[in-house]
Structure 1
Amino acid sequence: MRYRELGKTGLQVSEIGFGGEWMDGTPEATRAVVERAHDAGINILDVWMPDPVRRSNLGDALRDLDLRERWVIQGHLGSTWQGEQYVRTRDLVHVKPAFEDLLARFHTDYMDLGMIHYVDQVAEFEQIMAGPFMEYVRELQGSATVRHVGLSTHNPQVAKLAAAEPAIEMILFSVNPAFDMMPATENLDDLFGEAGEQSAVDGMTPERAELYALCEQTGTGITVMKGYMGGRLFDAKTSPFGVALTPVQCLEYALTRPAVASVMVGFTTPEHVDEAVAYETASADERDYVRVLAGAPRHAYVGQCTYCGHCAPCPSGIDIATVNKFYDLATMYDDVPDSLREHYRALGATAASCVACRACESRCPFGVKIADKMARAAELFGC
């Protein structure tokens, strides 16, 4: 298992994470999944679910296996259990006991990441940050009951506000090749509706490209939800691209986005853990989502670099994919951030080394004019 630093939190998390949503079976079944995940090196768990069965199943498994201190837990604030059903709320009368219940069921006195739960409206984000809900979050952080503060959202506009807010250190955000082409929305259902197929031919939305750039600049870590688009990307009939991707290919896409540290995968059996962890030993061909999307009947990646690396090798030794990533990030700003400029210069062979042989262009699945882009990068960075 490979590990990545989660933004500026200082936490090292496994690039394959555990979304605990489906752990509503028997305690024994949950323990088997937790044990398999731990043996595979997974060390981050997202717990947004308020119901006592899943909380207790997971909390008891971690306690019985003596794993609590080895795991980074994303515990959500604002996800409550009322009248035997899930209710998302900002009312502290319900928020506080729900969070205290989470701590109790996990047999712990802290959450590594206290997640402001499911904020998809800009107005709601602004209300939270200026109101008693955020005061409560600060109290929890001040007492070390919450070690770091995060926020979950599906809306890139809200995610950008969170990334620019110093009090929020990381975000849980939905990332997959289909969602990256969908416009910002305050309604989660829109992401799975008829707009999905049209989005596949519209191209990546600027809000999402800007979000990744901002997170990279501010050191805001990203953990990923819905990396498989709810399983729709595994079936050509339900994929907006008209072709099927594998779990490994979806993981590769998410983990090559800027600022992404880990993908939360929903498991129900130990075998599901094995399928996701197969990413760690997968070959380059098995990870290659590009060859699938390039031949898809519906996609708008033509002319866009996805940082896949198919352009290599460069006779001048340029890491073309990384140069393109830094260039795309830099163009999101009026002035190139000093940190980004230094990362670029540290590459050694920069875009200025390009001799415009264009051999790389014949290998690019999406027809990117790489030599022209290298020239623009050299001009922008000054070397």
Structure 2
Amino acid sequence: MQYRELGNTGIKVSEIAFGAEFLVERSYEDTEELIKVCEANGINFVDCWMSEHDVRSHLGRAIKDNRENWVIQGHLGATWQNNQYVRTREMDKVIPAFEDFMQRFQIDTLDFGMIHYVDQIEDYEEIMNGPFMEYAKKLKGEGTIAHIGLSTHNPDIGLLAAENPEIELLMFSINPAYDMFGAMDDIEEYRKEDAYDNELSSSNPQRAELYELCQNNGTALTVMKGFAGGNLLSDETSPFGVALSPIQCIHYCLEQKGVNSIFVGVKTPEELMESLKYCDATQSEKDYSEVLKNAPKHSFEGQCTYCGHCVPCASEIDIAMVNKLFGLAKNHDEVPASVQEHYNNLKFNASECISCGDCQPRCPFNVHIVDVMLDVQDLFGF
């Protein structure tokens, strides 16, 4: 198992982490077995957004003896009402639900108190300017939580959070399918049968910008939905028409700039071991580019996916970053000032391309990189 530091927090966690989403209506013995497999294989990071009482109690009991070895993400705003999960911002529900979490986990301090599931701008603004954030800051001031985080599926929210110094960790949904989309304020949009139309043929540069921003700002970035709810693991349900392996999905996520760890949601120790094979996988087993290149649906031919296979560049240009900025800018009437500034600050830009073409045979998607560099110069001015 490899470990990465969570942004600027100084905390090191396993690249593969454990998500608790499939522990509902499971026995304590099932939970304990999964936790023991985690511990035996070096996993030291767990996220529990689930509000169901037994999930919290079972996890707390299972990790109690080794609590000092675990880093825990718990969520503010995930409540249990009338025997079902409810996301809420009502403080008379939020506070007792969080206190219940701490009691059932048998802990005095939570490593990351996560502002739970923020996908709408209005919700984000109300949280940041209201009693919800005041409560989170109070908990941090008292030492009840060590760090404040936020979970979202919307890159617009992610960009706001990554710019907010009070948010130290962002949990975001990342996988090759979701990364084709821009901002959405409803996670259900990703699941619609007609969502992946023919216009979706490359990674969305806004999401790449978010990952870059997290890395530059030192905002920890953890991954949820790495398998797209399991859809990517089957030919029948994959939007590409072909399955990726857990190893390929994990590698895709961990290759994105700024990413520190991916939470895998599993039902059994056997499923967990399939993900843990990543630790000993070869580069060919990790490589997802050939799968996407030959996918029967949603061709990536000629489209940069920012995979980085094109390097090294003789002129030391960050080709993937130049492509990202080009993608962000080209659909506007004028280049956005923030994108132009980012391009201006690149150490090496498109004008330094010597048109050697060495990068092009390495691109699995046959992008005409030299031509792109010329287009970039025309758009950005150099």
TM-score (norm 1): 0.88
Task: Report deviation, 1:78.
Answer: 0.3
More displaced 10-residue stretch of structure 1: 259-268 or 301-310 = 301-310
Aligned pair in 2 of structure 1 residues 70, 334: CA closer, same or farther (>3 Å)? same
Q: Distance in 2 between matches of 1:157 and 1:309?
A: 25
Specify the alignment match of 2:184 in structure 1: 185
Contact 2:205/2:325 (8 A) holds in 1: no
Provide the secondary structure at the position in 1 that maps to 2:340.
Answer: coil
More displaced 10-residue stretch of structure 1: 207-216 or 22-31 = 207-216
Specify the alignment match of 2:40 in structure 1: 39
Q: Deviations over 1:292-334 (max 9, x none)?
A: 00001222533343344544677x5x777xx224435666633
Task: Report deviation, 1:244.
Answer: 1.0
More displaced 10-residue stretch of structure 1: 224-233 or 176-185 = 176-185
Contact 2:202/2:305 (8 A) holds in 1: no
The reply to whether residue 21 of structure 1 matches residue 27 of structure 2 is no
More displaced 10-residue stretch of structure 1: 370-379 or 326-335 = 370-379
Specify the alignment match of 1:138 in structure 2: 137
Contact 2:310/2:319 (8 A) holds in 1: no
Task: Report deviation, 1:7.
Answer: 1.5
Q: Distance in 1 between matches of 2:12 and 2:320?
A: 23
Specify the alignment match of 2:196 in structure 1: 197
Q: Distance in 2 between matches of 1:130 and 1:181?
A: 32
Specify the alignment match of 1:275 in structure 2: 274
Aligned pair in 2 of structure 1 residues 14, 376: CA closer, same or farther (>3 Å)? farther
- Listed as ranges, the matches of 1:229-248 within 5 Å are 229-248=228-247
Q: Distance in 1 between matches of 2:171 and 2:270?
A: 25
Task: Report deviation, 1:277.
Answer: 1.0
Aligned pair in 2 of structure 1 residues 252, 27: CA closer, same or farther (>3 Å)? same
Q: For this pair of structures, how many residues does the alignment match?
A: 369
Q: Deviations over 1:316-360 (max 9, x none)?
A: 5x777xx2244356666332499x85xx68xxxx98997543243
Specify the alignment match of 1:367 in structure 2: 366
Q: Deviations over 1:138-164 (max 9, x none)?
A: 000101111111101111111111111
Aligned pair in 2 of structure 1 residues 328, 216: CA closer, same or farther (>3 Å)? farther
What's the Cα RMSD here? 2.8
Specify the alignment match of 1:2 in structure 2: 2
Provide the secondary structure at the position in 1 that maps to 2:117.
Answer: coil
Provide the secondary structure at the position in 1 that maps to 2:341.
Answer: coil
Unaligned runs of 5+ in 2: 329-338
Task: Report deviation, 1:242.
Answer: 1.1
1:227 is aligned with what amino acid? G
Give 2:341's match in structure 1, choosing from 322, 335, 338: 335
Q: Distance in 2 between matches of 1:117 and 1:159?
A: 13
Task: Report deviation, 1:34.
Answer: 0.5
1:51 is aligned with what amino acid? E
TM-score (norm 2): 0.88
Q: Percent identity?
A: 48
